[in-house]
Chain A
């Protein structure tokens, strides 16, 4: 295990300690940091957005300063860095392969073994006099506090869920209240996750539209204008489904009826399908049926995929939801496709 590199853009110097130099991180959240955060929200080089694992310092840390443990996903690291910008502290970064704390804890990379090994590799015991580590509470699924204590001598203290509550947590003598202990899923958080839903959905949507275009082109006797005219209904259905299932359902999640995400997406999809039908003119009954069947089905599917981004679903629940929803979603989209082809051949 190598110590973290000093030439990372957020490192401003070194702190001399009893066991050697430790990189000092900037207390300023720069334009580069902001731009990087924006890019990963849109899925650009997300898996490469990492910092080196190992020990860092912020401010003027001493042997008494608190030690915060975090993941090496830079978005996560920056959230912590901003939360403790005015503190003097140590930051122990675990190698989670560039994944946030909660997901990494679920996979076990933010885990007991990695933590114990990183404590030893960074020679933390020679740098601080106390034996306490503050972990993000959402690291709990991966780290067994009692085992860490047994193996490293360091006591794990679970901090608040959100990094922004750390100053208050420190003020209260390392005690978190109920609000700091619970994970909510607010409007802004859902909004921030929308791009990650839309980007892959649009990618699949464009691929599907391209395939349908080729089909139209062949069925329409190699006429480009006819193919484009025929493509309007399915392209509209795909677009309306993405808007309903990947944008509106996540944003309006708490206000949509039903508990299963696919039910919420279905409701949004039905609303969206009727809006589309009322807006377009000059399409046949069968084409209207295509829109009314396929949009709710595809919207339900996209909404179901949002379970992974949400913070209140369980594996058992998602399994149950998929058992009834997936066949209906595939069936609905398939029926829509079939009716559309029949409409083309008949018209």
Chain B
């Protein structure tokens, strides 16, 4: 079965080719195969699959990948709106 994909055209992921040296560390940390190497150059191949986890940005030594990282969790946002501190973390393992 194909992996599930969330909403279209919402994520904040951006890649700046001018800063990219093609080291490819972003490819090895992305859990969603969003970034791919095409003709030797790294680029965004599956934008809508991005979950904004921020792993690519954190591990890019060149600052070529940027994203507003966060957790896609409605109950955390609701708790935030209600002024409660309780975060959201039920991802099993």
CB distance from B39 to the nearest CB of A (A): 18
Chain B residue with Cβ nearest A190: B92
| Interface residue stretch chosen among A23-31, A125-133, A174-182, A332-340 | A174-182
CB distance from B74 to the nearest CB of A (A): 5
Interface size on B, residues (CB 8 A): 46
Interface residues as binary, B21-39 with A (CB distance below 8 Å gives 1, 0 otherwise) = 0000100111111000000
Interface residues of B in 59-76 (CB under 8 A from A): 59, 61, 68-76
Please report whether the interface of chain A is mostly helix, strand, loop or mixed according to DSSP: helix
A184 in contact with B25 (CB, 8 Å): no
A318 and B81 CA atoms in complex are apart in Å by 14
Among A183, A193, A307, which residue has its beta carbon within 8 angstroms of that of B72? A307
Among B4, B7, B53, which residue has its beta carbon within 8 angstroms of that of A106? B53
Chain B residues near A254 (CB-CB < 8 A): 1, 4
Known contacts A185-B4, A318-B77; is-contact A176 B54 (Cβ 8 Å): no
Chain B residues near A189 (CB-CB < 8 A): 92
CB distance from B34 to the nearest CB of A (A): 10
Chain A residue with Cβ nearest B8: A259
CB distance from A192 to the nearest CB of B (A): 6
Indicate if B3 sits at the interface (CB-CB under 8 A): yes
A176 and B6 CA atoms in complex are apart in Å by 25
B72 in contact with A137 (CB, 8 Å): no
Indicate if A142 sits at the interface (CB-CB under 8 A): yes
B91 in contact with A103 (CB, 8 Å): yes
A260 and B10 CA atoms in complex are apart in Å by 12
Chain A residues near B87 (CB-CB < 8 A): 107
Among B75, B78, B93, which residue has its beta carbon within 8 angstroms of that of A76? B93
B3 in contact with A316 (CB, 8 Å): no
A254 and B4 CA atoms in complex are apart in Å by 7
Indicate if A321 sits at the interface (CB-CB under 8 A): yes
CB distance from B92 to the nearest CB of A (A): 6
B4 in contact with A145 (CB, 8 Å): no
Chain B residue with Cβ nearest A99: B89
CB distance from B48 to the nearest CB of A (A): 9
B33 in contact with A182 (CB, 8 Å): yes
B33 in contact with A178 (CB, 8 Å): yes
CB distance from A81 to the nearest CB of B (A): 12
Indicate if B44 sits at the interface (CB-CB under 8 A): no
A178 and B45 CA atoms in complex are apart in Å by 14
A140 in contact with B58 (CB, 8 Å): yes
Chain A residues near B5 (CB-CB < 8 A): 259, 312
B71 in contact with A315 (CB, 8 Å): yes
A327 and B64 CA atoms in complex are apart in Å by 38
Among B12, B55, B58, B76, which residue has its beta carbon within 8 angstroms of that of A316? B12
Chain A residue with Cβ nearest B62: A146
Indicate if B51 sits at the interface (CB-CB under 8 A): yes
Indicate if B42 sits at the interface (CB-CB under 8 A): no
Chain B residues near A184 (CB-CB < 8 A): 3
B68 in contact with A316 (CB, 8 Å): yes
A142 and B78 CA atoms in complex are apart in Å by 24
Interface residues as binary, A171-203 with B (CB distance below 8 Å gives 1, 0 otherwise) = 000001010011111000100110011000000
Chain B residues near A142 (CB-CB < 8 A): 58
Known contacts A316-B10, A317-B11; is-contact A308 B71 (Cβ 8 Å): yes
B28 in contact with A176 (CB, 8 Å): yes
CB distance from A230 to the nearest CB of B (A): 30
Indicate if A138 sits at the interface (CB-CB under 8 A): yes
Provide a sorted-by-A list of 26 A–B residue pairs whose CB atoms are within 8 angstroms: A100-B91, A102-B53, A106-B53, A137-B55, A140-B29, A140-B53, A141-B55, A143-B59, A144-B59, A146-B59, A163-B93, A176-B28, A181-B31, A183-B31, A253-B4, A259-B6, A259-B7, A308-B75, A312-B32, A313-B51, A314-B51, A317-B6, A318-B73, A320-B10, A321-B74, A322-B77
Q: 14 extra interchain contacts, Cβ-Cβ under 8 A, other than A308-B88, A316-B12?
A: A106-B71, A140-B29, A141-B58, A144-B59, A176-B28, A254-B4, A259-B6, A259-B8, A305-B78, A308-B91, A313-B6, A314-B6, A314-B10, A315-B70
